[in-house]
Amino acid sequence: MIITKILVTGAGGQIGSELTCALRAIYGNNNVLATDLSESAYEKIAAKGPFEILDIMQPERLTEIVRAFKPDAIFHLAAILSAVGEEKPNLAWSINTNGSINVYDVARDNGVKRIFAPSSMAVFGPTTPRSNTPQDTVLQPTTVYGMTKVIDELIGKYYIKRYGMDIRGVRYPGIISNVTLPGGGTTDYAVQIYYDAVKYGRYECFLKEDTMLPMMYMPDCLKGTLDLFHASRERLIHNTDFNLSAFSVTPADIVSSIRKFLPSFEIIYKPDFRQDIADSWPDSIDDSCARTEWDWEPSYDLDAMTQDMLRVIGERMK
């Protein structure tokens, strides 16, 4: 299948802002249309290619944009993440489920050949095996965000079966990056800690020091996303729901790693409502199906990521 033009929803977010640039490097700046709710997203990525303001809750506007741009593929990244989802459950229900259906319907009706739509480790809950969580296992999340991601995985499977669509997705762990700040998740601490380490030499953490969660550095997130998107469909047994993992860390592990480069770094722990969310998620994930079906392999471990994060953020703050 030849893909030449791509539309990205939620392109101004933590992942979208970097994925859009990675896609433009492959497909050409003018062949990747970035869309998001706001002008601020426009300012970040507009210079490198086309941008349209798009609320995925407006299917007529989405149809208009898709008919004008004629994408072969959509990367559907617009979503409400876990912490904001607990504060605004109705918004999360609506955008994460009805918004996805809008995107899939418009794609189906306008000849879009492939969709990549991320899921999350948030599909797992307290009744799921917590360590080395298997690919095909109990999905009983206790957060609104997690529930919507389970539904999204199932909606994707339904559209594959009923309409013959090609929809793919991974269950990202917490993504750590240094271009765009995260948009309201539980793993956000693992990004902010690096910014505060460089800027203030200290950080107040909203999770307990021993809260182990799966994490991944953005270059691996982009690699995994693009590798699954480009994988041969014949090899794929799974589709919308691949487990994906790089390494698992606690806040204390990140502190130790930062102190290798900034020995005087200080931390205090003040857990808030996000602790309950984190406690419902796995501490490590078995991603062997991704490794077998499309050759997934991460490159970064914690110290390699820490060194790069501190370097990039430090240079930016000079």
What string marks each residue from 137 to 156 as x (binds ligand SER by CB under 6 A) or -? Answer: --------x-----------
Q: Which of 128, 145, 80 is nearest to 285 (CA)?
A: 128
Q: Which two tokens stand for residue 181?
A: 């700040």
Two tokens, residue 168: 């793919």
CA distance 74 to 87: 28
Residues 41-70 that bind ligand NAD (CB under 6 A): 41, 54-57
- Considering beta carbons, is residue 145 or 242 the nearer one to ligand SER? 145
Number of Cβ within a 10 Å radius of residue 128: 18
Binding of ligand SER by 122 (CB under 6 A): yes
Q: How many residues bind ligand SER (CB under 6 A)?
A: 9
Q: Rounded to 5 degrees, what are φ and ψ at 177? A: -155, 175
- The verdict on 174 binding ligand NAD (CB under 6 A) reads yes
82 binds, among ligand NAD, ligand SER, none (CB under 5 to 8 A by kind): ligand SER
Task: Catalogue the long-range contacts made by 311-316 (C-beta closer than 8 Å, 24 or more residues apart).
Answer: 312/178, 313/178, 313/194, 313/195, 313/198, 314/198, 316/178
49 conformational bin, left if phi > 0, alpha if psi -120 to 50, beta if neither: left
Which of 85, 47, 62, 60 shows the shortest CA–CA distance to 9? 62
**Binding string to ligand SER for residues 170 to 199, with x set by CB under 6 A, is what?**
----x----------xxx------------
In the list 17, 96, 102, 120, the residue contacting ligand SER (rule: CB under 6 A) is 120
Residue ranges in contact with ligand SER by CB under 6 A: 81-82, 120, 122, 145, 174, 185-187
Q: Catalog residues that contact ligand NAD under the rule CB under 6 A.
A: 9-10, 12-16, 36-38, 41, 54-57, 77-79, 81, 95, 99, 118, 120, 172, 174-175, 182-185, 187
